[in-house]
Structure 1
Amino acid sequence: MPDNTEPQSSEARPMLLTGKRVWVAGHRGMVGSAIVRRLASEDCEVITATRAEVDLKDPAVVLAFVGEKKPDAIFMAAAKVGGILANDTYPADFLYENLMIAANVTEAAFRHEVGKMLFLGSSCIYPRMAPQPIPEDALLTGPLEPTNEWYAIAKIAGIKLAQAYRKQHGCDFISAMPTNLYGPGDNFDLNSSHVLPALIRKAHEAKVAGADHITIWGTGTPRREFLHADDCADACVFLMKTYSGYEHVNVGSGEDIAIIDLARLVCEVVGFEGEIRTDTTKPDGTPRKLMSGDRLKSLGWVPAVKLRQGVAAAYAWFTAST
């Protein structure tokens, strides 16, 4: 039944996953694969499909797939992702493909009466100069970071799609916004990776080469928040089972760390004993980026993986896969 009233911030519609058919869209990505691992303990049937099997940019294909598989729940972790250079070089691709993926999966979930869907966004949806820690209501209160605004706009559209279908059609569609993630399956390419996997690779290669130093961009003073992919997956399953609110929910660790301190931690874990130098000719970026986790914490979820423990696991995965 359509809901044309002002939506409430939260409402209890718990969903047990036991015995359910659950589609993880984007199951080969770092977050999607973590969600698949997490669902192994939920006694549910996990549905997956490769890009070759289902082109999420094709509305007819997505509609047919959902109609055939009949999932009870969908984790929408699929996206076209990339670093600053990729976003800057292919803005149309990033905007178009992510818009189409969000729109097609959401519409198919509605048309085939999927019981629940969780849309996975990104912390880049928030204004570049958002207050710290960033509350959920900071969304659309200021200009975005120009280097990834195309991706961010598509993710904002995904949130609004979930809210619109909830408001108009009464669909139980929710959204989660994770902070900077890391873990198994991360991208360690120095040309396109994020800061933590890049530091792991730099420290490892310096150790192997017997180098006396590594160099990090900027002053090292900016502070960033990090969350292990397995914690993110656990939070997503928690929200799928317990949360049915109109508003999106931040998913983070609730703690941030200066980049220079992160570099020291990584070097300790890797076993690189050389000097850490800063290249102050390179930009620092935003001074601080920490999301408020108050909403998720109030619902009863807290992360389990400590940063040092997570970095050690990520390094072990990196060395085993290279």
Structure 2
Amino acid sequence: MPNGSWAGKTVVVTGGAGFIGSHIVEQLLEREASVICLYRRDRRGVLAQLPDSSRLRTAQLDLRDEDALSAVFELARGGVDAFFHCAAVSGSVEFRRDHSGQILDTNMRVTSNVLKVARTHGVPDVALLSSSDIYLNPETYPIHEDDDFTRQMKYVPDGYYLSKVYAEILAETHRIEYGTNIFLPRLTSVYGPRDNFEPDTDRVVPSMFAKVMAGQEIEIWGDGSQTRTYMHVTDLVRAVLRMVEVGKHHVLNIGTSEIVTVHDLARLVCEALEEPERIRFDPARSGGRPNRTLDVGRLYDVIDFEPRSLRDGLRDTVEWYRRHRVPARAAR
């Protein structure tokens, strides 16, 4: 982005009724951009939580339909200045394993359409939200951006992982062949307002919230010593927008330098909800990789703010949760 300002720009956001996408829409509106918010479904009533603005337009469509996606761009007077692709099919570990073909096929069709339409309509900046999941077997800790598919690739029957890796490969080939300016923010674990707090959620923080508020124990697989980083969604979105504004790195780990164990996370969730600690461990089940810490040295060379602490971010999430999602038990 030439002048680093979103004011007066027209931006398209896919997955605008989703968790991260809705926050990108919101922050772009705060920066006085005009936003075209694309979504397929709004099952959690997210659109109603977005600002009421004349600069916000919404369109419901299936991103697998290239013609429908292209039509959105044709309606944008003066063209589109940036395109944020946030939509993706994911799911629980079991769903990703059992429906690997479906996830890979859908996500790749959509990504291909996004890149083709962006190229056809001359969009200057394209951001494809990637994931730290692409680092399947990292050789460095903390994990550096160079420790990716260019160094090693491994097949596993996980359609989400495969789709994120192949999306990055497709982006790289588009950059080389067509000169498309593509940004690949690789996101750490994210939490915050408008996350999926539905009963069937597979998300870590919402799952812990649900257990605590139901008076049940938080179950941690393994011994709870595995370390992770968690970033509040508004900070994560600020970092992604800043990445595009500065334009210095086309691949960037998006995370925080605050490292916590899964056990610590559970304790902080209980503290934020002001509920007793009810935590048990299942050492017979794998807790996953012992360490998923990202190297955020490049990120701190780009952002102009300090991400909030996990404790403060969880308190903010609790405030939103009590307004929008709190169950009847909590109204005591």
TM-score by length of 2: 0.85
Name the CA shift for 1:14/1:158 in 2 (closer, same or farther; >3 Å). Answer: farther
| 1:263 aligned residue | 266
Q: Which runs of 5+ in 1 are unaligned?
A: 1-11
The alpha carbon displacement at 1:293 in A equals: 0.6
The alpha carbon displacement at 1:32 in A equals: 0.5
| 1:295 aligned residue | 298
Aligned residues with identical type, % of pairs: 29
1:248-294 CA distances to partner (integer Å, 9 max, x unpaired)? 11100122201111111111111222442212122111001111111
Name the CA shift for 1:215/1:254 in 2 (closer, same or farther; >3 Å). Answer: same
Q: Which of 198, 218, 225 is the equivalent residue of 1:221? A: 225
Tell me, yes or no, if the aligned pair for 2:231 and 2:256 is still in contact at 8 Å.
Answer: yes
Tell me, yes or no, if the aligned pair for 1:130 and 1:142 is still in contact at 8 Å.
Answer: no
Q: Distance in 1 between matches of 2:256 and 2:185?
A: 14
The alpha carbon displacement at 1:66 in A equals: 2.1
| 1:5 aligned residue | none
Decide which moves more: 130-139 or 63-72: 63-72
Equivalent position SS for 2:219 = strand
Q: Distance in 1 between matches of 2:9 and 2:222?
A: 48
How does 1:126-145 map onto structure 2 within 5 Å?
Answer: 126-140=135-149, 141-142=151-152
Equivalent position SS for 2:298 = helix
Q: Which of 22, 30, 33 is the equivalent residue of 2:19? A: 30
| 2:84 aligned residue | 75
| 2:64 aligned residue | 57
Name the CA shift for 1:171/1:292 in 2 (closer, same or farther; >3 Å). Answer: same
| 2:281 aligned residue | 278
Name the CA shift for 1:300/1:273 in 2 (closer, same or farther; >3 Å). Answer: closer
Name the CA shift for 1:144/1:228 in 2 (closer, same or farther; >3 Å). Answer: farther
- Which amino acid counterpart does residue 119 of structure 1 have in structure 2? L
The alpha carbon displacement at 1:131 in A equals: 2.4
Q: Distance in 1 between matches of 2:212 and 2:323?
A: 16
Tell me, yes or no, if the aligned pair for 1:255 and 1:290 is still in contact at 8 Å.
Answer: no
The yes-or-no answer on 1:234 pairing with 2:238 is yes
Equivalent position SS for 1:124 = helix
Name the CA shift for 1:21/1:298 in 2 (closer, same or farther; >3 Å). Answer: same
Q: Which of 172, 180, 193 is the equivalent residue of 1:163? A: 172
| 2:183 aligned residue | 174
Q: Distance in 2 between matches of 1:144 and 1:255?
A: 29
Q: Which of 244, 250, 253 is the equivalent residue of 1:250? A: 253
Decide which moves more: 51-60 or 180-189: 51-60
Name the CA shift for 1:154/1:194 in 2 (closer, same or farther; >3 Å). Answer: same
- Which amino acid counterpart does residue 309 of structure 1 have in structure 2? D
- Which amino acid counterpart does residue 100 of structure 2 have in structure 1? P
- Which amino acid counterpart does residue 59 of structure 1 have in structure 2? E
Q: Distance in 2 between matches of 1:64 and 1:316?
A: 39
Q: Distance in 2 between matches of 1:68 and 1:191?
A: 37
Q: CA RMSD in A?
A: 2.1
Name the CA shift for 1:29/1:150 in 2 (closer, same or farther; >3 Å). Answer: same
More helix by share: 1
Question: How many residues align structurally?
Answer: 304
1:116-153 CA distances to partner (integer Å, 9 max, x unpaired)? 11111111011234422110011024465947x32122
TM-score by length of 1: 0.87
- Which amino acid counterpart does residue 235 of structure 1 have in structure 2? A
Q: Distance in 1 between matches of 2:277 and 2:135?
A: 37
Decide which moves more: 233-242 or 196-205: 196-205
Q: Which runs of 4+ in 1 moved over 6 A?
A: none
